[in-house]
Amino acid sequence: MTALLQPHDEKDPVAIKAPSEFPNSPLSQAFRQPLMLGVFLNLQDIRHSSYPTSNSWTYDYNVEIVKRAEALGFDLAFSRTQWLPKGGYDGEASLDSFIALAAMAGVTSRILLISTIHVLYGPWHPLHLAKFGATLDHISKGRWGINIVTGHRAVEHEMFGWQRIEHDQRYVLAAELFDVVERLWSEEENFSFKGISSWTVNNAFITPKPLFGRPVLVNATGSEAGIHFAARYSDIIFITSPGGAHIESALETLPEHIKRIKQAAKNVGRDIRTLINPIVISRDTERETQDYVDAIVAHRVPPEVKGFHSYDSDAHAWRGRQDTNHKQGLNLGGNIEIIGTPEQVVEQLVALKAIGIDGVQLNFYDFAKDLDYFGEKILPLLKQAGLRV
């Protein structure tokens, strides 16, 4: 039997339940935090500076970071994936975040694990995404999710054997894909589908169904088309500061951006949480913090040495970085920079919360050392400030 899907429009109710509609889902638990805390893992060589750090792209290093974050009560761990040719990474190594975070599901018990997947590359067949996703959902007990990205660099699409798909069209194709994946996660009967994508499904069915409606869905975007997609499909949106990395620029430009995103979700009868990734650089005193920052900056690797910056990208999310009206920060690696003593860090996090940021996924210059410092010196103050319960 063939039941053809109609593309969603803004008037359609969303058929599938989100994990946040189940009060006992791991996502609902994370949403109860006034400010969600995440860790932004680097499963690839990142060299903003040659100032020594313990960081490593290896699975062993990163799984220890995730376990430590979980022990500190962090709500989520996330990692990016990039598909770059030889010489594209700061070093040569980059683990795939789908596989690495899936493996982490087996050795953790509470933290959400969000894998970045380029959902159009291949192309992925919806049955693969639905079946792999449902399997991981059961292994992780509802803690695993996808950061849906469509690929912004021409060179990545070319590696997969085609020319980059036009920016907004990528979201049209991703929407068709997720309409079918969601249908597979919820439909009690076989069904068939043919649309504009190159794949079709024929009498398809997936079991088991995910435990809490579906896995967690996230988007990293800043464009109109991406926000529209996120509003329709995602629980969380990873956002960028429209103005620049400096905290003042971020606090100035984010409120309008967040308002637009929240309104887009409201327009389709949904709610979406905003997450941003700051780098936190903190020591006990202003002097020590400044010394740490100065050391990182003094050893900074110039952009021209970092090959991947020269790849053509059509991403909208980072365009504000070219706007010289805003303070751009020190280019230390995070989307925004939170620098200061533990008290000053908490002040900046309180300010971000006040303008509508629902969570932060933290970068550190030295993950092992600085995450421990965060847990010891900053987390207790965050609790005192009412941002963590």
Ligand X SMILES: Cc1cc2nc3c(=O)[nH]c(=O)nc-3n(C[C@H](O)[C@H](O)[C@H](O)COP(=O)(O)O)c2cc1C
H-helix or E-strand spanning residue 117 = strand 112-118
Closest to ligand X by CB, 78 or 191: 78
Segment contacting ligand X by CB under 6 A, of 27-35, 148-156, 256-264, 281-289: 148-156
Instruction: Provide, rounded to whole angstroms, the least separation between the CB of residue 106 and ligand X.
Output: 22
Buried-state track 59-90, b at ≥16 Cβ within 10 A, e below 16: eebbbebbbbbbebebbbbbbbbbbbeeebbb
Q: Toward ligand X, which CB reaches closer, 151 or 342?
A: 151
Tell me the number of residues near ligand X by CB under 6 A. 18
| Torsion of Cα atoms, 261 then 318 then 145 then 209, to 10° | 60
Stretch that binds ligand X, among 98-106, 145-153, 250-258, 341-349 (CB under 6 A): 145-153
CA distances from 2 to 200, 201, 202, 208, 248 (A): 12, 10, 8, 22, 55
Angle between helices 126-140 and 97-105 (to 10 degrees): 30
If binding is defined by CB under 6 A, does position 80 make contact with ligand X?
yes
Place of tokens 């995602």: 234
Residue 55 Cβ vs ligand X, minimum distance, rounded to whole Å: 17
Q: How far is the CB of 261 from ligand X (least distance, A)?
A: 12
Q: Binding marks (x or -) toward ligand X, 327..366, rule CB under 6 A?
A: ----------------------------------------
Choice between 149 and 258, CB closer to ligand X: 149
Min dist. Cβ of residue 18 to ligand X (A): 20
238 binds ligand X (CB under 6 A): yes
d(CA 251, CA 257): 11
User: What would the x/- binding string for ligand X be over residues 16 to 55, using CB under 6 A?
Assistant: ----------------------------------------
**Structure tokens, 7:** 């593309």
Please give the DSSP secondary-structure letter assigned to residue 49.
B
Cα–Cα distance between 213 and 130 in angstroms, integer? 12
CA distance 322 to 268: 32
> What binding mask, one character per residue, do residues 272-311 give for ligand X by CB under 6 A, x or -?
-----x----------------------------------
Residues near ligand X, by CB under 6 A = 80-82, 116, 149, 151-152, 220-223, 226, 238, 240, 277, 315-317
